[in-house]
Structure 1
Amino acid sequence: MAGTANAAAKSEMIDLTNLSPDQLMQIKQEFEQEMTNIQDSLSTLHSCKAKYAGSKDALEAFQPDWENRQILVPLTSSMYVPGRIKDLNNFVIDIGTGYYIEKDLQGSKDYFKRRVEYVQEQIEKIEKIHLQKTRFLNSVIGVLEMKQAAALKMIQQQQQQQQQKRAPSLRRKNSFDDVAHTVKARLTCGLPVRALSLSLSLSLALAVVYVQSARCPLGRSRGACIV
């Protein structure tokens, strides 16, 4: 247990901001698995503590006048046979792995009391480790979410820059489309040929001026911009 606590303490000294998102994700998955194992261990210890405490309480309730008292003796978890108490000061205790010991009433009470206290100490130690790992896992998740948000923001900025680069070409295309739409509308209205020719020349001239102004920034000579 002490080695695990030291390992958790060393883990907290890692500078998480220097790790990549993939490394942080791997650490997160490993700690989540460890947290699951710790939870299983705590559940097992709490079950053992409840079993020992139940045996201790049963011995505390034992009365001296229970000799020859009828009881139900369990054969399985759901099957019993009737029996009678013959010896009030002799108990057989299961100590695990198929071993049993005999103790008197007071010795049996002391045994289960010690077991309850020992299991409680183990529970407290593991809960401290669980708390340390929980704090570290929360730190990992916080840094991981921060890095993921920064990466998403960078992608959005790149997309905006690409859209801004495409905008001038779209504006030039829309200008030519407007000229074509104007000519088509005037043809539909049945304008005289002369008026239509003059309108078309004016529209094309405006389009040429727009293209030249786009290709020739302010401050350069007109001859330097002729293509």
Structure 2
Amino acid sequence: MAAASSTKGEMEKMGIEQLKAVKEQADLEVNLLQDSLNNIRTATSRLDSASAALHDLSLRPQGKKMLVPLTASLYVPGTLDDADKVLVDIGTGYFVEKTMEEGKDYCERKINLLKSNFDQLLEVATKKKSVADDAGMILQAKLKQLSTPTS
């Protein structure tokens, strides 16, 4: 908190244009961090779905007829050949064959990593939001002080 109060003290010494620039920069950073947080939420949701699909697939017997997704809206009929081996998308179009347990473990590790990154980004975003709010309040006070006529 001492760092935040010293930053606030520094902002009180700034001119109006500098305060506007600080507020705009902090607001921009907050928006970028919010976008990153939303992307992490989306990725976590997809990994949760993949983990649930792996669990469901592991319960199906070999030779089971099923629909195989080619795209989000296109499915083709197929037969489950070997439920113990799965292809895991490790990014940028690369897939690795893993056992079912290794695939589940991969999903869990990625989910834990994303949750850790989410918590760290949330902390940074909260601090940036606080800086933007402080800059806005100080800016408003200075503008009000300028507009108030002194007798």
Quick check: TM above 0.5? yes
- Counterpart position of 1:184: none
User: Which residue type is aligned with residue 27 of structure 1?
Assistant: V
Q: Distance in 2 between matches of 1:65 and 1:20?
A: 68
3-state SS, counterpart of residue 57 of structure 2: coil
Cα distance, 1:64–1:134 mapped onto 2, change above 3 Å? closer
- Counterpart position of 1:114: 109
1:19 equivalenced with 2:19 (yes/no):
no
Q: Distance in 2 between matches of 1:67 and 1:106?
A: 17
Within-5 A mapping of 1:89-128: 89-128=84-123
Q: Distance in 2 between matches of 1:78 and 1:59?
A: 20
The answer to which structure has the higher strand fraction is: 2
Question: Deviations 1:85-115 (Å, cap 9, x if unpaired)?
Answer: 0101010011101211011111111110000
Match of 2:44 among 27, 46, 49: 49
1:29 equivalenced with 2:31 (yes/no):
no
Q: Distance in 1 between matches of 2:58 and 2:116?
A: 31
- Counterpart position of 2:135: 140
Q: Distance in 2 between matches of 1:60 and 1:93?
A: 14
1:69 equivalenced with 2:64 (yes/no):
yes
Relative contact order higher in (CA < 8 Å, ≥ 6 apart): 2
Structure with higher Rg: it is 1
- Counterpart position of 2:81: 86
Q: Distance in 1 between matches of 2:115 and 2:88?
A: 20
Matched-pair identity in %: 26
Per mean C-alpha deviation after superposition, the further-off stretch among 51-60 and 123-132 is: 51-60
Question: Deviations 1:130-166 (Å, cap 9, x if unpaired)?
Answer: 0111111111111001001100103xx4xxx7xxxxx
User: Which residue type is aligned with residue 80 of structure 1?
Assistant: Y
Please list every run of at least 4 consecutive aligned residues from structure 1 whose deviation after the TM superposition is greater than 4 angstroms.
none
TM-score normalised over the length of structure 2: 0.90
Q: Distance in 1 between matches of 2:8 and 2:107?
A: 41
Q: Distance in 2 between matches of 1:66 and 1:55?
A: 19
- Counterpart position of 1:39: 34
Root-mean-square deviation (CA, aligned residues, Å) is 2.0
- Please say if residues 85 and 99 of structure 2, whose CA atoms lie closer than 8 Å, have aligned partners that are also in contact: yes
- Please say if residues 65 and 77 of structure 2, whose CA atoms lie closer than 8 Å, have aligned partners that are also in contact: yes
3-state SS, counterpart of residue 77 of structure 1: coil
Structure 1 residues without counterparts, runs of 5 or longer: 1-7, 162-227
Q: CA deviation at 1:37?
A: 0.6
Aligned residues: 149
